[in-house]
Structure 1
Amino acid sequence: MSERVLTGDRVTGKLHLGHYVGSLKNRIELQNNYDTFVELADVQALTTHFEKPEMIKQNVRYITMDYLASGIDPEKSTIFVQSLIPEIAELTVYYSMFVTVSALRHNPTIKSEAEAHGYKDLYYGFLGYPVSQAADITFCKATLIPVGEDQLPHIEQTRKIVRKFNQLYRPVLVEPEALVGEVPRLVGLDGNNKMSKSLGNAIQLDSTEQEVNEKIKDAKTDPERIHKNDPGHPEICPIYAYHRVFRPSGADEICENCRKGTMGCVECKRKIAKSINLLLEPMRQRRADYQEHPETVDEILMAGTKRARIEAKETMREVREAMSLNYFTSK
């Protein structure tokens, strides 16, 4: 069996530069070497946004256009909608039969996310997120899962589920491997947190040139640098962090001039805004084409979901047979 990658996003909002650096750029490269499945996780978005289903409906298409504009190729990657694969829900139920509540409660990712959302009494769906994610991974027998280190507990839970299922019934499922890369995490425009759509400190991928310029202009810099000629501390400045990511060839010069006080923040911001706009410009052009033809976006989603469903049906046939649930098809 050839290697298959499963990746995706919860559809809780438009994607931003942090997503591009942290995952999208890597996915664009992976699709050239692996059979890549990209999931729009609308069901999992409900774990924290169940009161806003209309927002999720809207975001499915927004994020699909973010994918297509950034360079994910529907001819190379299978883009599909999670809720339209009923086999994922069925697998989630079966797996939940042999995953303990204690194991889920002690999952460090669940604990940190619950704390971030202020959840003291966890909803069933939120607590069972790792089980749902295991179903995402195994329905298409994905072998490689690109993740950050904070997501490793979820992958390990999936591996445990696969081993348990194969031991209990029959070796049907594939045990995935985590694909962890060295990925820079962008700080937000406020300089205090990671770039996040919920914190409002991000540059979205669909930003216009003017919006990028304005956001960079208003971004915080070194708080100790009051005047243009004051020596700066680039290591604590989010704008310098952006230089290192988006124009690395000029980052050393920025660092040196900042420390010497020979370049002001206005000029420094102008340079990085230009580089970010150069990155986003081809995305804007591709996005404009899809915005003019929204039916193409729907066609891509339907085609990808159809292909994913074919894989799901075959996996479920094997799962039901292994569990002796094929009542009317067994010989």
Structure 2
Amino acid sequence: MEKVLSGMRPTGKLHIGHYFGALKNWVKLQEQYECFYFVADWHALTTSYENPEDINTFRKELILDWLSVGIDPEKSTLFVQSKNLYHAELFVLLSMITPVAWLERCPSYKEIKMEMKDRDLNNLGFLSYPLLQTVDIILYSAKYVPVGVDQIPHIEISREIVRRFHYLYDCEIFVEPEGLLTEVPKLLGTDGRKMSKSYGNTIMLSEDLKSVEKKVMTMITDTNRKRRSDPGNPDVCPVFDYHKVFSTEDEKQEIIFGCKNAKIGCVDCKKILLKHLFEFLTPIQEKRKEYEKIIGDIDDFIKDGQERANTIAGEIMEKVRRVMKI
């Protein structure tokens, strides 16, 4: 069975954007492929190196969120990046053959630096992020990596590094990974900006429902609709973007007609959305609470997955050392 690998940085609890952007697809993929899902705590250090104490706390929160939406440790291999030192070893070895220019040309390198101007990202770890990402993938012979279109350049760098290694050492050890494109629905934050924990405009998977209600009822709508009697435009309304994801087709058509003809108010529209949000979040939160009761040490809970991941990576590293004569 072909393998799929993906990971998330432990930077806090997950929101509904994470679910529709990645986790919903992860749950589906574990029924079709041999899946490896890991906590990318070393990756978190590239931008959160000043507050490393948060990473261990968020590691457990991250896995609890995964479990709550249906990631099954019996079907997928769950592990922590830093608990497998083979990642560090292969990273060092591949850094000897990876041109700096390949890393600098990665589009997200400049984009994230611009986006996070409040942090000093002029460090080697941030620059070499795509190289460590390559290691994460090829240590497990993953054929597919679920990504959005904007992450395709990362996968191409991984493919180039694999080809360069095979050429230099006249071998075929690694699998060249491919991006598994996923469609990500447009879900802005509750203030109309990009959904981000730093903006405080997210709806968390584990958030108290009263808090969710407050956020939804204060969401930005069509700014041209000043009064209940003014016709609106769902195409420019962030609330309707949520309806595209949560509401039925009949409801969406009714909302479009009602909004454009001032037959429905923004409050009524938000109440329909809230009903669906509660139906979506309630079973997730109930499942999370069940896991919180039975899981003490998260490392102990995923021990089998960690051991399996370490064994697979160790076998790959034996081959790497052999061809590199070390």
Structure 1 length-normalised TM: 0.95
AA aligned opposite 1:31: Q
Task: Using the TM superposition, give the Cα deviation of residue 294 of structure 1 relative to its aligned residue in structure 2, in angstroms.
Answer: 2.3
1:40 corresponds in structure 2 to 39
Partner in structure 2 of residue 103 of structure 1: 102
Report sequence identity in percent. 43
**What secondary structure sits across from 1:145 in the alignment?**
strand
Over residues 271-312 of structure 1, what are the superposed CA-to-partner deviations in whole Å (9 max), with x where a residue is unaligned?
101101111111111111111122274433222211110111
Alignment of 1:190-269 (within 5 A): 190-191=191-192, 193-249=193-249, 250-269=251-270
What secondary structure does 1:318 align onto?
A: helix
Cα distance change, pair 108–196 in 1 and its aligned pair in 2 (3 A) = same
Partners of 2:302 and 2:195 lie apart in 1 by 28
Structure-2 separation of matches of 1:81 and 1:314: 18
CA-CA distance at 1:25 after TM superposition? 0.3
Counterparts of 1:1-331 in structure 2, within 5 Å, are 2-118=1-117, 122-169=122-169, 170-191=171-192, 193-249=193-249, 250-295=251-296, 297-325=298-326
Partner Cα distance (2:282, 2:215) in 1: 16
For the Cα contact (< 8 Å) 2:213–2:274, is it kept in 1? yes
Q: Is the 8 A contact 1:74 1:300 kept in 2?
A: no
Q: Aligned partners of 2:194 and 2:256: how far apart in 1?
A: 21
Contact kept, 8 Å, 1:290 with 1:296, in 2: the verdict is no
Displacement after TM superposition at 1:185 (Å): 2.8
Q: Is the 8 A contact 1:224 1:232 kept in 2?
A: yes
**One-letter amino acid of the structure 2 residue matched with residue 55 of structure 1:** D
Measure, in 2, the Cα distance between the counterparts of 1:299 and 1:275.
36
Amino acid at match of 2:31: N
SS in 2 for 1:185: coil
Gaps of 5+ in 2: none
The equivalent of 1:329 in structure 2 is none
Answer yes or no: is the 8 Å Cα contact 1:43–1:83 preserved in 2: yes
The CA deviation string for residues 201-233 of structure 1, in whole angstroms up to 9 with x for no partner, is 110110122121111011111111111121011
C-alpha spacing 1:21/1:121, structure 2 compared with 1 (3 Å): closer
Q: Give the total of aligned pairs.
A: 323
- Alignment partner of 2:199: what SS? coil
Give the AA of the match of 2:207.
S
Moved over 4 A (4+): none
Shift of 1:120: 7.1
5+ residue gaps, structure 1, are 326-331
Partner of 1:198: helix, strand, or coil?
Answer: helix
Are the aligned partners of 2:216 and 2:270 in contact in 1 as well (CA < 8 Å)?
A: yes
Q: What letter matches 2:122 in structure 1?
A: L
The amino acid that maps onto 2:244 is: R
Contact 1:172 1:322 in 2 (8 A): no
What's the CA shift string for 1:166-187, capped at 9, x where partnerless? Answer: 1111110110110012221311
Which stretch has the larger CA shift, 28-37 or 181-190?
181-190
CA contact (8 A) 2:148 2:182 kept: yes
RMSD: 1.3
Cα distance in 2, alignment partners of residues 177 and 212 from structure 1: 37
Q: What SS does the corresponding residue of 2:5 show, helix, strand or coil?
A: strand
Could you tell me the TM-score, scaled by structure 2's length? 0.96
Shift of 1:50: 0.4
Q: How far, CA to CA, are the matches of 1:154 and 1:110 in structure 2? A: 10
Distance in 2 (CA, whole Å) between partners of 1:153 and 1:114 is: 17
Asked if structure 2 preserves the Cα contact closer than 8 Å seen for 1:290 and 1:297, the reply is: no
State the AA in 2 paired with 1:218: T
SS at 1:229's partner residue? coil
Superimposed CA distance per residue, residues 3-45 of structure 1 (whole angstroms, 9 cap, x where no aligned partner) = 1000111111111000101100000000001000001000000
